[in-house]
Structure 1
């Protein structure tokens, strides 16, 4: 008789607990339950230990939202922006007290012109080109030594004589653009030229809004070619010694190819240059100037849509950055107190920072003004 038989006799032929299937299943379930309970307890403990101490804030996860597309201009066709100036940065902050700043409402703070457009259509007959008066009246090209150059154009001059005089007293060469209808403008321009500044004529052109008054003898859309020439001739007769013109306001007129063709034809005949103030992203100034063979350039930075000194200094820093990247920059400002103060502090150290101040004619000659 074996041990198992003896064991069964002693236990009354009953099967041991550890050999019964039900008991084994119950034991396995119990072990699993204990394991799950231990796991949950460890999870709760680790979660409590990872919480920040009372009063500490966790940085919220960054939320990246796509900017909504700008609303289309009500007056623009769907493909009207093709070939226009490239305007990457956001629009500037206009100063509510400045009509010329408000006129710049749809123009960019920093602007680069698009590549050259195709040649003019055969039906556009170009007038004979006159002698290059702009070169005759241009200041000599400063020695640059390969350094980036900056041209500062100050327009709206002549109306406020005191501030115009203060601007003309700054170290040059600046490019000073005088209003056609300013009193005593010939004397003011002559004095500025004697101080070593280059001259331009600031020609009033029609703005988009009827609430802004660009001044008398303004060039307007819809005028006959003869009337545009008459008004332009009046403005150009107010003083002499200038290299060309730039537009005062003009967001509507500079967007009108028909009117601008008349202007460029007259500039070509007179041998003058054109500086586009770019008061509208829809300007055709550069495009038409190329077609007519008119020497031109376009501004890259506005200095004083906000007239505060700190803002102007920031815009001058943008001008330096643009010139460093592209070799040349044109900035336009106005005879405001903040602009005068900022320029007075900025000009003396320009050469030490590796730049050369030049008249705008130098940038035109270099061919990188647009």
Structure 2
């Protein structure tokens, strides 16, 4: 009985050992499975992450390439556009330069043409009055106004008026003499459009006003005529005043018919008095009515004593200069009238030594 119990216990003990081994094996197996699962999952996760990283890197690389490609394309576009702009600017600059050069050439040509026209016009203006025949009526010079012989203690005064001044060469010729000589400017016309501008640059000047002559046919524009009304003469003098705002003295250009008509002279002197302008009679005709009209207005008559260049000969002009000096000495003063001809200017220049015997003055210093 005891032996059976011992054998049975031993048998049960072996069974328990087997069960324990089986359980241990199962536990190890389960542990391996669990461990394998966890380790495999971690590796798989790492592998997945790694693949995602690689994929992301590839995607980033592609994007970067695309961006680089786009940037390069954009840079290329910008460069191309910049080249186009620079090309257009260069073309514009070249065109502007060409246009500017063309404009300068055109302006130069126009200026040259203008200068040539002015020279031609000036030459024509100078040629128009190559002698003084238009200033006197007939071959014989009108006698100077009657004057008293006076004795003076100081030097006699002589005023030389140069008529027909109208272009720059006239002004230059007179100014180069370096003498106090009065320039009497013709009003502007087609041939001498700037005579009033030239006068404006002088400290003192006169106006040589065109008036109707008996035989002289080459009249200036707006020549005063005998039949002109008071209103028309007044309007003309107002125009002259606008052109020559500082004018204080006027003498007649031609005018043999006008100055020999008392009514016409009276209408003129009336207007000149209103404008505070003095009239100097060029005395182009012996029958001038200016003296009697001036007397009626109780004003002093002032007229030309000597014509210097009725004959355009240098020696003759010199003799007339001497005559003017003698008249000045005899009467205390004298007015000589000449023109801007080469021989007249030369004769005056060569007679400078003679002027020591008189005081050469502008007409506003004469009386």
If the TM-score is normalised by the length of the shorter chain, which range does it land in?
Answer: 0.5 to 0.7
Contact 1:149–1:329 (Cα < 8 Å) also in 2: yes
Contact 1:110–1:300 (Cα < 8 Å) also in 2: no
| Deviation at residue 264 of structure 1 after TM alignment | 0.5
2:214 counterpart (204, 208, 219)? 208
1:155 counterpart (133, 158, 163)? 163
CA deviation vs aligned residue, 1:168-210 (integer Å, no higher than 9, x gap): 33223111100012422233113332xxxx311110000001x
CA deviation vs aligned residue, 1:83-103 (integer Å, no higher than 9, x gap): xxxxxxxxxxxxx97464244
Structure 2 equivalent of residue 93 of structure 1? none
Structure 2 equivalent of residue 199 of structure 1? 205
- Number of aligned residue pairs: 234
Structure 2 equivalent of residue 220 of structure 1? 225
- Equivalent positions of 1:152-191 (< 5 A) are 152-158=160-166, 160-181=167-188, 182-191=192-201
Q: 2: CA distance between counterparts of 1:153 and 1:291?
A: 26
Structure 2, unpaired ranges of 5+: 1-127
Contact 2:142–2:285 (Cα < 8 Å) also in 1: no
Q: 2: CA distance between counterparts of 1:328 and 1:115?
A: 10
In terms of Rg, which structure is larger? 2
Structure 1 equivalent of residue 243 of structure 2? 238
- Equivalent positions of 1:20-35 (< 5 A) are none
Structure having the higher helix fraction is 2
Structure 2 equivalent of residue 356 of structure 1? 359
Q: 2: CA distance between counterparts of 1:109 and 1:255?
A: 15
Q: 1: CA distance between counterparts of 2:223 and 2:365?
A: 29
SS at match of 1:259: helix
| Deviation at residue 255 of structure 1 after TM alignment | 0.7
- Equivalent positions of 1:245-324 (< 5 A) are 245-324=250-329
Contact 1:276–1:299 (Cα < 8 Å) also in 2: yes
Q: 2: CA distance between counterparts of 1:294 and 1:203?
A: 20
| Deviation at residue 236 of structure 1 after TM alignment | 2.8
Structure 1, unpaired ranges of 5+: 1-95, 117-143, 366-370
| Deviation at residue 114 of structure 1 after TM alignment | 4.1
| Deviation at residue 356 of structure 1 after TM alignment | 0.6
SS at match of 1:252: helix
Contact 1:155–1:335 (Cα < 8 Å) also in 2: yes
Q: 2: CA distance between counterparts of 1:361 and 1:251?
A: 25
CA deviation vs aligned residue, 1:276-306 (integer Å, no higher than 9, x gap): 0000111111221222244541000000011
| Deviation at residue 349 of structure 1 after TM alignment | 4.5
CA deviation vs aligned residue, 1:284-334 (integer Å, no higher than 9, x gap): 112212222445410000000111211110110111111122211110000
| Deviation at residue 347 of structure 1 after TM alignment | 2.8
Q: How has the CA–CA distance of structure 1 residues 295 and 165 changed in structure 2, closer, same or farther, with 3 Å as cutoff?
A: farther
Q: 1: CA distance between counterparts of 2:363 and 2:221?
A: 26
Q: 2: CA distance between counterparts of 1:168 and 1:108?
A: 31
Q: 2: CA distance between counterparts of 1:298 and 1:265?
A: 18
Q: 1: CA distance between counterparts of 2:157 and 2:175?
A: 20
Structure 2 equivalent of residue 79 of structure 1? none
Contact 1:204–1:218 (Cα < 8 Å) also in 2: yes
